[in-house]
Chains A and B, each alone.
Chain A
Amino acid sequence: MTTAPAHAGWRFRQPSVIPGFGLTLGFSLAYLTLIILIPLSGLIWRSAALGWTDFWALATDRRTLKALEISFGTAFIAAAVNVVFGTLVAWVLVRYRFPGRRVVDAMVDLPFALPTAVAGIALTTLYAPTGWLGKLLMPLGLKVAYTPLGIIVALVFIGLPFVVRTVQPIMEELDKEVEEAAATLGASRFQIITRVLLPSLAPAIITGFSLAFARGVGEYGSVIFIAGNLPYKSEIAPLLIVIRLEEYNYPAATAIAAIMLALSFAMLLVINLVQTWSRKRYG
């Protein structure tokens, strides 16, 4: 058993015995800088040019706040829905053998590949008050298209593969003996799922959630078709950015973008920390 101080805080890790540490680290940093850091710092730079009072005025604009609330709120709800049903889909795919399993398995990836606009238009056609599903839901008082509910439906569609594809491999690795051990100790099927299986899947589920959530916050193509885009009601932040750009109002666009960036980064950081913590505990 090695008990090297592998997790001794923020100390710089000694290069390992594998050669090429300097080269690969240098490459990684240069690549990340080029692809992610430079464009993003450009964004910060532009919005910093605004000045604090102007920035604050733009950021606290009621329409901006509402758009941000809709974006993050719907993305959160959609990711939560995906966690439940994505885990269920993964469970069925991993645990059961049935004819057509491979087809279903491949279908999960479709939202990855489909142009998002196509997804948006298809969903809108389905859920519009005259569409197949919309027609059935109207009498129940449920209006999906052109409401925040429609945004959630689109984001659920887009985010599903993120949850399934992160949970599935971990689920496949679950040791059947652990379940058997729990059963011999007297645990019912329900107790085995809630006390043994789900806790060991938690890290993967959190990852799936954060990916689906991040994707949902940034989603544009599918949402603008189904959302109806009514200001203060179903207008998402990315759309507001585009609107501002079309008005040549670059400062406002960068301000909204900067806020989105800050919020997303903060949330993803928190999720990552939760994950590191759970990984450390469960090994």
Chain B
Amino acid sequence: MEVRVVNVRKEFERFPALHDVSLDIKSGELIALLGPSGSGKTTLLRLIAGLERPTKGAIFFGEEDASQKSIQERNVGFVFQHYALFRHMTVADNIGFGLKVRHGAARPSSQEIRRRALELLDLVQLSGLEKRYPAQLSGGQRQRVALARAMAIEPKVLLLDEPFGALDAQVRRELRRWLREIHDRTGHTTVFVTHDQEEALELADRVVVMSQGRIEQVGTADDIYDTPNSPFVYSFIGESSSLPVKVENGEVWIADRPIGLEAPHAPPGEAVLYFRPHDVDLLDGCSGCIAGTVAASRRVAGTRRVELEIGGERQRVEIELPVDHPAAQKSRVAFRPRRWKLFPKA
């Protein structure tokens, strides 16, 4: 089911949580809402579910305006960070709940409900645990039950609110791969919220980066990582370094020296240069480069991260060097970013 969010605004007691957000989600897509806390990502998810009502704007499921419908009528599967299982019911009863509360002809027979619950239990790889109570399961198992419960009602959309947030790193990676597999097999349109960029980039077909109640950028992992369209996305996704620069005659300058980067289309004046610490060329001499004194050097996994002080104002930037690179021993390092972007000074 295709989902369209159209010009949605949400205020909580006059405090705006979302400003005029629009988003098209394609049928069968796995999409991630990524952002720091307070960015409005969970609010957007809850609006799609119907757990909140928009102050303005509408949400469409296919051609239908879902914003007029109650939560019960929307038929969405929602998975909560803290599982929200019914602790007085067995695993099988939890999964069958959504079918059991249906009325009249819509309610399957109890054998059918049971058969369906066992089938879903099998899908989430928990066969044999149908008689357990949630208290007798581990965190990862509980979240799988929660997912099976959400899928039991054949939802139009599957919504997951930080589904792996409460789990430890190992289980998280495992469930991430497993969720992708389930999605590929069942083909539900799925939206999940996360503040973990690794999770979003690895798992989702498209990532929606949010900040302060607005959507900053929507795109594939490659789009988001390689061509961030705002300073926020640049610094929020992956590692980044930034330097205040000046644009003159289509060239980028730091203080009184050009650094060998051409920017023919950038407007002249002050700007900020963004680049990735690992995406730099180290240079020997320095005619047209960025040069700085080594202020600190740290070993990070397979690389060495060097902090440089640039120019008279001692602006600090970080770059990454191979561990055995001779430059790491020197007191002065010169480099030029391989890939970079200019943003107007804020």
Contacts and interface: CB of A to CB of B under 8 A. Distances in A.
Interface of A: 1, 175, 177-178, 180-188, 191, 195-196, 199-200, 202, 281-283
A185 B98 contact: yes
Interface in B64-81: 71-72, 74-78, 80
B77 A282 contact: no
A49 B82 CA distance: 61
Contact of A282 (B71, B88, B102, B138): B88
B84 A185 contact: no
B101 A282 contact: no
13 contacts: A175-B84, A178-B84, A180-B71, A180-B80, A181-B86, A184-B51, A184-B74, A186-B153, A187-B72, A188-B72, A281-B88, A282-B87, A283-B87
Contacts of B335: none
Nearest to B96: A185
A58 to B, nearest CB: 46
Contacts of B149: 181, 185
Nearest to A184: B78
B209 to A, nearest CB: 26
Given A1-B138, A282-B88, A283-B136, A187 B101 contact: yes
Contacts of A177: 80, 82, 84
B277 to A, nearest CB: 40
B98 A283 contact: no
Given A186-B98, A186-B101, A283-B135, 17 more contacts: A1-B138, A178-B84, A180-B51, A181-B85, A181-B86, A182-B86, A182-B101, A183-B51, A184-B72, A185-B152, A186-B72, A186-B153, A195-B97, A196-B86, A199-B86, A281-B133, A282-B135
B78 A180 contact: yes
B134 interface: yes
Contacts of A283: 87, 133-136
Interface in B86-115: 86-88, 97-98, 101-102
Nearest to A177: B84
Contacts of B72: 183-184, 186-188
A10 B264 CA distance: 84
A199 B88 contact: yes
A220 B78 CA distance: 54
Chain B, interface size category, equals 20 to 34
Contact of B71 (A1, A175, A183, A191): A183
Nearest to A3: B136
B97 A184 contact: no
B102 A181 contact: no
Nearest to A187: B101
Interface of B: 49-51, 71-72, 74-78, 80, 82, 84-88, 97-98, 101-102, 133-136, 138, 146, 149-150, 152-153
Contacts of A191: 101
B129 to A, nearest CB: 13
A195 B71 contact: no
Nearest to A183: B71
A162 to B, nearest CB: 23
B103 to A, nearest CB: 9
B86 A178 contact: yes
Chain B CB count within 10 A is highest, among A181, A183, A187, A282, for: A181
Contacts of A188: 72, 101
Given A178-B86, A196-B86, A185 B135 contact: no
Contacts of B76: 184
A250 B138 CA distance: 60
- Counting from the closest, the 5 A-B pairs by CB-CB distance are A283-B135, A185-B98, A177-B84, A181-B84, A184-B78
Given A183-B72, A186-B75, A282-B133, A175 B82 contact: yes
A281 B90 CA distance: 9
Contacts of A187: 72, 97-98, 101
Contacts of B84: 175, 177-178, 180-181
B317 to A, nearest CB: 44
A282 B132 CA distance: 10
A188 B98 CA distance: 11
Nearest to A1: B138
A180 B42 CA distance: 14
B339 to A, nearest CB: 43
B169 to A, nearest CB: 17
Nearest to A190: B101
A114 to B, nearest CB: 37
Contacts of A195: 97, 101
Contacts of B78: 180-181, 184
A185 B87 contact: no
Chain B CB count within 10 A is highest, among A182, A186, A282, for: A186
A187 B74 CA distance: 12
A150 B88 CA distance: 38
B83 to A, nearest CB: 8
A1 B139 CA distance: 10
B101 A185 contact: yes
Contacts of B50: 184
Nearest to A176: B84
A63 B291 CA distance: 105
Contacts of A183: 51, 71-72
A186 B100 CA distance: 10
A202 to B, nearest CB: 8
A183 B51 CA distance: 9
Nearest to A281: B133
Nearest to A199: B88
A123 to B, nearest CB: 38
B97 A200 contact: no
A184 B77 CA distance: 7
A181 to B, nearest CB: 4
